[in-house]
Structure 1
Amino acid sequence: MNESFVYEIVVENEIPEKWSDWLEGMSIEKKPGRSTSLTGRLTDQAALLGILIRLHDFNLTIVSVIRK
């Protein structure tokens, strides 16, 4: 059974809101201290891995990943 979950991914540095399309439509919120929070519902672990790989390809440091 596939169950989707809401994830929050925090990365160092700010990223543009227009990247939302490249990141499965996740909400992008700039945080204090030049970090960015990405929040959204993902369909499965493969979708999460895809986002993490894209963030890595953009050379962004992942601070945390939380399933809500």
Structure 2
Amino acid sequence: MPDVTRPPAPDEPAVYALRIAGHLDDHWSPRLGGLTLTREPDGTTSLTGTVADQAALHGLLTGIRDLGVTLISVAIV
């Protein structure tokens, strides 16, 4: 069982859950690392899935920024 008290090393994959304001269509998933998009009743979108490493996470965050949407949270799950 993995040690849940420590974050993954920068070069290890991890499952992330990100939340953004607004609803995104599923066609954005490939641009956002293939994460699963779930439109929530509160008007937000959850993006979940495995991110290969910290470099991929930074690329994902850049993609979100480039869409002009508001990032609400990022968490390792």
The TM-score range, normalised by the shorter chain, is: over 0.9
Per the TM alignment, residue 3 of structure 1 is displaced from its structure 2 partner at its CA by 1.5
What TM-score, normalized to structure 1? Answer: 0.94
Aligned to 1:23: 32
Query: Superposition RMSD on alpha carbons, in Å?
Result: 1.1
Which has the higher Rg, Structure 1 or Structure 2? 2
Count of residues paired in the alignment? 68
> Runs of 5+ in structure 1 lacking a partner?
none
Aligned to 2:22: 13
Query: For residue 52 of structure 1, what is the amino acid of its counterpart?
Result: L
Per the TM alignment, residue 21 of structure 1 is displaced from its structure 2 partner at its CA by 0.6
In proportion to residue count, which structure has more strand?
1
Q: In 2, Cα distance between the equivalents of 1:10 and 1:33?
A: 11
* Partner SS state of residue 53, structure 1: helix
Q: In 2, Cα distance between the equivalents of 1:57 and 1:18?
A: 15
Aligned to 1:4: 13
Runs of 4+ in 1 over 6 A off after TM superposition: none
Q: In 2, Cα distance between the equivalents of 1:13 and 1:58?
A: 11
Q: In 2, Cα distance between the equivalents of 1:14 and 1:34?
A: 6
Q: Does 1:61 align with 2:54?
A: no
